Amino acid sequence: MEQLSERFLRYAKIDTQSNSESETCPSTEKQWTLAKMLFQELKDMGMEEVSIDDNAYVMASLPANTDTDVPVIGFIAHFDTSPDFTAETVNPLIHENYNGGDLVLNKEKNIVLSPKDFGELNLYKGQTLITTDGTTLLGADDKAGITEIMGAMEYLLEHPEIKHGKIRVGFNPDEEIGRGAHLFDVKKFGAQWAYTMDGGQIGELEYENFNAAGARVTIKGVSVHPGTAYKQMINSMLVANKFISLLPADQVPERTQKYEGFFHLNHMNGTVEDTELYYIIRDHDKKLFEEKKDLFMKTVDQVNSEYGQKLISVDMQDQYYNMREKIEPNMHIIEIAEQAMKEVAVEPNIKAIRGGTDGAQLSFKGLPCPNIFAGGHNFHGKFEFIPVPSMKKAMEVIVKITELTSEKYS
């Protein structure tokens, strides 16, 4: 666990925040720092077919050590962190033998991680936790996944008595802005199936996710001096308020759970003359997903009609779809992962993702790719934390999957 902690801390301190406004890949130059580090570490540990392409996608192979015809499988994680919360100067704190009380992350700013607010902390009494210092995110999403994959490959190289087929690993940029799989070369990767190590709490195993769309809403107003604005000014921010109020108030993230979808106002900025909203639209059910998009556009038409002119325009794009339809014909890959968890004393928690992973897009590109826990909690914010034993268990699950796959096809 000390080696896992050291590796994770090294990765976490590198700022790899992605940027949805950028048109390059990777979306930020700083992602190259970790990509190049991983490329070199893979070579140094003895992996083969190590490559890094012009867009910072890193791949490598662990050769088979058995003569039987075992399918090539893969493990994937992303190295960017959320664009919505700062990752500059990440300074992780280590809390050994957590006693179940409050954890002071930043005394000066009175930032406290408390089980009163985050009850899941009670699950990890006596364990070593890694947290933020209250000023940045931690980056366990998904540097924990990278740590676990790298640790598992190193372990397998050191223990050739564990028989396995060819293993492929892949690390990519820009998952947090929905582009991680866009330039992922599935043919080059060459696996029959893979797993993203990008889930949350220990035990999570996921092969369902949201259908997802993003909508950029542009609202045009008319700016006039407020003293002479009667029947002339159109305040675009108030038009935005009207639009927001017409969407279902109960279909927002903070009021939905499990399989319930939502409309999420993710960003907004405005003046009297110009306002921009950015929404994400989510639902597990494809029919309900299409109905949500239709309602969104009808609401735009309704507001425009009320004002008698086209004040609101929308650029809506589908982002990814529910991977369930691609995984269900290949349920053996879920069964192997479930058995692997049980054999390393982890209770599987098969659930739907209230979000998405690169695995969703990769599944539709021909690489069935469910998601396995990486062990972290409270991603994308200052209260993010990860128990070190959860990372160790995730690494053990990877190793066991390779072993079980070899046994199944021997």
Report the alpha-carbon distance of residue 307 to residue 314 in Å, rounded: 16
Please list, in sequence order, all residues whose beta carbon lies within 8 angstroms of the beta carbon of residue 181, skipping any fewer than 6 positions away.
Answer: 172, 175, 358, 360, 361, 362, 365
CA 231 to mean position of chain CA atoms: 47
Q: Active-site residue among 141, 175, 208, 358?
A: 175
Amino acid at 392: K
Report the alpha-carbon distance of residue 327 to residue 130 in Å, rounded: 33
Please list, in sequence order, all residues whose beta carbon lies within 8 angstroms of the beta carbon of residue 243, skipping any fewer than 6 positions away.
Answer: 217, 219, 277, 299, 300, 303, 312
Report the alpha-carbon distance of residue 295 to residue 316 in Å, rounded: 13
356 neighbors 210 (Cβ within 8 angstroms): yes
Helices (H) and strands (E) in the chain, counts: 10, 17
Report the alpha-carbon distance of residue 259 to residue 388 in Å, rounded: 30
Q: Active-site residue among 80, 176, 198, 283?
A: 80
* For the chain, the helix, strand and coil percentages under 3-state DSSP, each to the nearest 5: 35, 25, 40
Which phi and psi angles does 312 have, rounded to 5°?
A: -110, 130
Task: Please confirm, yes or no, whether 102 is among the known catalytic residues.
Answer: no
Longest dimension (CA), the chain: 84
Phi-psi region of 297 (alpha: psi -120 to 50; beta: other; left: phi over 0): alpha
Q: What angle do CA 98, 102, 108 make, to 5 degrees?
A: 120
Task: Please confirm, yes or no, whether 175 is among the known catalytic residues.
Answer: yes
Nearest partner of 98 among 131, 66, 76, 65, judged by Cα: 131
Q: Which two tokens stand for residue 406?
A: 């070899």
350 neighbors 343 (Cβ within 8 angstroms): no
Q: Which residues are catalytic?
A: 80, 175
